[in-house]
Amino acid sequence: MEEGAFFEELAAAVRERRRVALAVVVEVAGSVPQRPGAKMLVYEDGTILGTVGGGKMELGVIEQALLALEDERSTLLSLELSKENDSMCGGTAKVYIEPLLPNPELIVAGAGHIGQALAVFAKPLGFRMVLLDSRVEYLERAKEKLEGGIKAVLIDYANPFQGVDVGPSSCIVVATFGHTHDFNVVLAALKTPARYIGLVGSKSKRAALFDLLQERGFSKEDIARIRTPVGLPIGAVTPQEIAISILAEIIQLRRSYDLSEHNGASSCSRAIQAHGKSQAPA
């Protein structure tokens, strides 16, 4: 297809916040079906636009592009088009794959000090900020303080995500003004595909929550999705410091660094049994 039409479709995908991977042939040697510069878009449902050569080579690129979308990391794929790999071309090719993803969404339940601090710091980091609260005055205060740039949603904590689109790339932080509200939001969050669920709270709050979740039949794997104490362990005390520690943890998760030594599944699993220690105040 014409390059103009290709880039128009790419621009439309970005504009419409669709997850798509761009694959470009960057180097070839020997006999290959395409030249450097050949391009293809791979959508998360496996459909494609354009081509990098067809056949087994293209199937391999599609597979790696889907993995890149899942991992949110670019990759350089080297391909051998030999008889041993069921190809008659006999050449080699390198294909660069770049996942093009919408800005991450940060959903914060609670428009208090920590919620507002998160909104302040999240905006310049490229997050789309959604602030939830049942108190009109707090939401209005947050919008005024932050001069727009956030989506403020008045909610009922009994059904906190009604009207809120929570997707697999969404990050949820729970920082409400009451333990019951916190628990309701966490219970609702576990029923979503959100990639990050963080709870601001004390040792006693965490112990009570884990007991409640176990009583409700949630598995250890479910409970391990909850990051509490929330944020990286930097000794945060003030709302601003706590917000920075939370955003640092989310960035670490997005960039695919190992979280096992911090607040990942292993520490949560230990906390289920020992009820652990908290590093973030309620």
Q: How far apart are CA 61 and CA 63, in angstroms?
A: 5
Burial class of 275 by CB neighbour count within 10 A (0 to 12, 13 to 18, 19+): middle
Contacts of residue 148, Cβ cutoff 8 Å, sequence gap at least 6: none
Q: What is the pLDDT of residue 256?
A: 63
Contacts of residue 243, Cβ cutoff 8 Å, sequence gap at least 6: 114, 117, 118, 120, 121
CA dihedral 254, 257, 260, 265 (to 10 degrees): 20
Q: What is the pLDDT of residue 90?
A: 66
Q: Which helix (H) or strand (E) holds 171?
A: strand 171-174
Could you read off the pLDDT tens digit of each residue along the chain, which spans 282 residues? 688 899 999 999 988 888 999 999 999 888 777 789 999 999 999 999 999 988 888 999 999 999 999 888 899 999 887 654 445 566 888 999 999 988 889 999 999 999 999 999 998 898 999 999 999 999 998 888 887 778 999 999 999 999 898 988 899 999 999 989 999 999 999 999 999 999 998 778 888 888 889 899 999 899 999 998 899 999 999 999 999 999 999 999 887 644 444 444 433 333 333 333 333 433
Pairing type for strands 105-109 and 128-133 reads parallel
- Multiple choice CATH, 105-274, 3.30.450.20, 1.10.10.10, 3.10.20.30, 3.40.50.720: 3.40.50.720
Instruction: Give the number of other Cβ atoms within 10 Å of residue 105's Cβ.
Output: 21
Domain boundaries, given as residue ranges, for the chain = 3-100, 105-274
User: What tens digit of pLDDT does each residue of 178-208 get?
Assistant: 989 999 999 999 999 999 999 998 778 888 8
Instruction: Quote the Cα angle for 216-154-193, to 5°.
Output: 45
Q: What is the pLDDT of residue 30?
A: 80
Q: How many residues does the chain have?
A: 282
Q: How far apart are CA 206 and CA 229, in angstroms?
A: 8
pTM for this prediction: 0.72
Q: What is the pLDDT of residue 277?
A: 35
Residue 100 token pair: 């093009």
Amino acid identity for residue 11 in this structure? A
13 closest CA partner among 98, 130, 75, 71: 98
234 closest CA partner among 215, 208, 257, 262: 262
Q: What is the pLDDT of residue 152?
A: 93
Q: What is the pLDDT of residue 66?
A: 95
Contact (Cβ atoms closer than 8 angstroms) between residue 277 and residue 203: yes
Q: What is the pLDDT of residue 258?
A: 44
Q: What do you get for the CA distance between the two ends of the chain, in Å? A: 56
